[in-house]
Amino acid sequence: MDTSFSPYTPVIVTVMEHNATWILRCVDYISTILAACVTAGIISLLIPSHWSAPVGMFLGMILSMAVFSIIFLVLSFLAGPFGILMPGMASAMITGMVCGMMTTANTVSLSKLFTFGAVIGLGMATGFHIYDWVLHGEVSQDKTQRRA
Amino acid sequence: MDHIEKWNRAARTFDWLNMGVERRYGAHKRALFAKAWGRVMLVAAGTGLDFSWLPPDLDIVAIDFSPEMVKRAKLRAVQYSGRLAVVEADVEDLKFPDEYFDTVVTSCTFCSVPDPVKGLKEIRRVLKPDGRMLMFEHVRPGNFLLGIMMDIMTSAMRKIGPELNRPTADNIRCAGFKITREFNVYLDMVKLFEVAKY
């Protein structure tokens, strides 16, 4: 590959040239799990247990979007926005809403919230990976023309 | 013009914000743009990040409506091995004659053109009858829930960045083009299109 006018360092181009998509895929998984786990941790710290469940759920959702926005801004520079945006947003939002409710129930420990976040994050990342695997590739033009 | 001001402001951070996109999808762009031939127009060149994915030794006109983007792209254009002129121009109102280009290349362009169908019709006008358009675009996903997520994200991002929910395939057909190849790069959201005039 001619790198003479590339805006990127030869190391980055070499990584791309070796088709190291698994590194970028790892970033997708890490960002999705991180978004869910950090959301769970912050919710357990900020939402008091004596609040009502609907308020906890709503605040959990708002906090999850704030957490995800920060993680998204940092990691999308590394691996592009699209692989992080949807799985990360979905896992953070679900974790935020559920953990918000669980925190107000006052029966769940921090470690359980973290575990819940990690499971949701891993599940979302895997789900989107499989969905991408199913959709990736050529689109039949006969089908597309009919849809239009 | 609001949209020009928006992209003038975005020019300062454009390279950083697109670093991840180039890293992940650069190889796809390079494979698609390798099909460019003859007189080529690159639409919405931005700061010129895509110059490195274009085949060498072509005759290229790169356009963008943002003066700040054009200024940065000109600095990068001198490193290209063929002829590459960077011009400030709006794809919705091109000053080129009819049937002037053999290939038109776009890269995440029609998420930011204010009237995408008008822009595509202008491209169709300046494209030769046997010419083709090579497009790397992100579009609204077909999945109902993901589509709604993109609609919400777009309403939040519209003032500062691109629109994430454009039905670009439908817009291409609406402008009178024929899609000869469509390839899903990520989900059905990041796509490559090869488009013929007839």
Residues A31, B42 contacting (CB under 8 angstroms): no
Q: Burial of B13 by CB count in 10 Å (0-12 exposed, 13-18 middle, 19+ buried)?
A: exposed
DSSP calls for B30-78: HHHHTT--SEEEEES-TTSGGGGGSPTT-EEEEEES-HHHHHHHHHHHT
Retrieve residue B60's tokens: 């290229």
Average the pLDDT over A94-108 and give the result. Answer: 87
Angle in degrees, 0-180, between the axes of helices A21-46 and A110-135, rounded to the nearest 10 = 150
Contacts of A146 (CB under 8 A, 6+ apart): none
- Residue A8: predicted pLDDT: 46
Which chain B residues touch A if contact means CB-CB below 8 Å? 15-17, 19-27, 30, 48-49, 51-52, 56, 76, 79-81, 138, 146, 149, 153, 169-170, 173, 179-191
State the first-to-last Cα distance of chain A, in angstroms, to the nearest integer: 38
This complex has an ipTM of: 0.86
- Residue A20: predicted pLDDT: 59
Longest CA–CA separation in chain B, Å: 45
- Residue B107: predicted pLDDT: 94
Nearest by CB: B76 against A7, A79, A138:
A7
Average the pLDDT over A58-67 and give the result. Answer: 92
Q: What is the DSSP letter of B97?
A: P
Each residue's pLDDT expressed in tens, for chain B with a length of 198 residues = 578 888 898 888 888 888 888 888 888 999 999 999 999 999 999 999 999 999 999 999 999 999 999 999 999 999 999 999 999 999 999 999 999 999 999 999 998 898 999 999 999 999 999 999 999 999 999 999 999 988 988 887 777 778 888 999 999 999 999 999 999 999 999 999 999 988
Highest mean pLDDT: which range of A18-32, A58-72, B1-15 = A58-72
- Residue B1: predicted pLDDT: 58
- Residue A16: predicted pLDDT: 53
- Residue A81: predicted pLDDT: 87
Q: How many CB atoms lie within 10 A of CB B124?
A: 20
Q: How far is A124 from chain B (nearest CA, A)?
A: 13
